[in-house]
Amino acid sequence: MTAGTPKLRVEGATKAFGENLALAPASLVLQPGEFVSLVGPSGCGKSTLFNIVSGLLAPDAGHVQLDGRDITGTAGNVGYMLQKDLLVPWRSVVDNITLGAALTRGVTKADRAQAVDFARRYGLGDFLEHYPHALSGGMRQRVALMRTLATNHDVLLLDEPFGALDSQTRLEMQQWLLQVWAETQRTVLFVTHDVDESIFLSDRVLVMSPRPGRIAAELVVDLPRPRTLELMTTPAFNDVKREIITLLHGRAAA
């Protein structure tokens, strides 16, 4: 990778299901280490875009590049936490984190050691041998994210990972995710329809148009890091929020 090469580039990705266009040409660029969120109405093609980036779905047109290399339609290049990311109920926390290795090449001692290390570092140290049914919703999402991290890809696609959590747990998980991101130095593309969440987490927010989705606008979130909860009630935060809401709904909320 030469200096200045983006980590990830999506150029003109398009997808139709039968007659229905789900994704209009969508283009985006992520620089190494960035945290970028995609917000947009339900059904605008966010998950379709992720499926294309991950290589699970081939676009009808356009391409995807990782470190300047074309990866269009090829899987196994990025970490992907699916919107409905299920843990395997009969595998323990550690065995869920190592699932990727188990399914591809077999779990090594190093994989297991890394899983235990992730779990201990990120709040699951007392639950290594617990099964998913014994975990809270927030903990299950931590395990799912650790599993995505354990694939050791630089780029992580996280599709509404906190969508099903109550608002208090969600806030805790957002702070936790920022810690994981800062320490592991991954590049993150994050889908949410929670505007506050997108601002709190991100360096930039990409706003998608309604179906068929394209990237309609980009906002740079020029707020200091590390982000704190106090930030969420500042005028600067509200200014960004008003801009995004205007882009999404055509006018600012009262």
- List the one residue from 8, 30, 44, 71 that touches ligand ADP (CB under 6 A): 44
Q: Is 42 in the site for ligand ADP (CB under 6 A)?
A: yes
Smallest gap from residue 101 Cβ to ligand ADP (A): 28
For 182-235, give the DSSP string. HHHT-EEEEE-S-HHHHHHH-SEEEEEPSSSB-EEEEEE----SS--GGGGGSH
Residue listed under structure tokens 């990830």 = 8
**DSSP designation for 189:** E
Q: Which positions from 162 to 201 touch ligand ADP by CB under 6 A, shown as an x/- string?
A: ----------------------------------------
Which of ligand ADP, Mg ion, none has residue 44 at its interface (CB below 5 to 8 Å by kind)?
A: ligand ADP
Q: How many other C-beta atoms can be found within 10 angstroms of the C-beta atom of residue 190?
A: 24
Among 22, 36, 149, 177, binds ligand ADP (CB under 6 A): 22
Among Mg ion, ligand ADP, none, residue 37 binds (CB under 5-8 Å by kind)? none
Give just the sign of the alpha carbon dihedral 238, 243, 248, 254.
Answer: positive
Structure tokens at 129: 């041998």
| Residue with smaller CB distance to ligand ADP, 48 or 174 | 48
Token pair belonging to 185: 């130095």
Closest to Mg ion by CB, 84 or 133: 84
Q: Which stretch binds ligand ADP (CB under 6 A): 27-35, 37-45, 63-71, 234-242?
A: 37-45
Taking each helix axis from N to C end, the angle separating 109-121 and 137-149, rounded to the nearest 10 degrees, works out to: 140
Of 91, 121, 130, 211, the one binding ligand ADP by CB under 6 A: 211
> In the bound complex, what is the minimum distance in angstroms from residue 42's beta carbon to Mg ion?
7
- Taking the complex as a whole, the smallest distance from the CB of residue 238 to ligand ADP amounts, in Å, to 26
103 and 41 in contact (C-beta within 8 Å)? no
Comparing CB distances to Mg ion, the nearer of 115 and 195 is: 195
Q: Which of 15, 22, 28, 47 binds Mg ion (CB under 5 A)?
A: 47
> Shortest gap between Cβ of 45 and ligand ADP (angstroms)?
4
Taking the C-alpha atoms of residue 39 and residue 192, their distance in angstroms, rounded to an integer, is 6
Task: With beta carbons less than 8 A apart as the criterion, state whether 64 and 58 touch.
Answer: no
The whole-angstrom separation of Cα 119 and Cα 103 is: 20
Q: Decide: residue 213, CB within 10 A, 0-12 exposed, 13-18 middle, 19+ buried.
A: buried
Residues of this chain that bind Mg ion (CB under 5 A) = 46-47, 83
Residues in contact with ligand ADP by CB under 6 A are 17, 22, 40, 42-48, 211
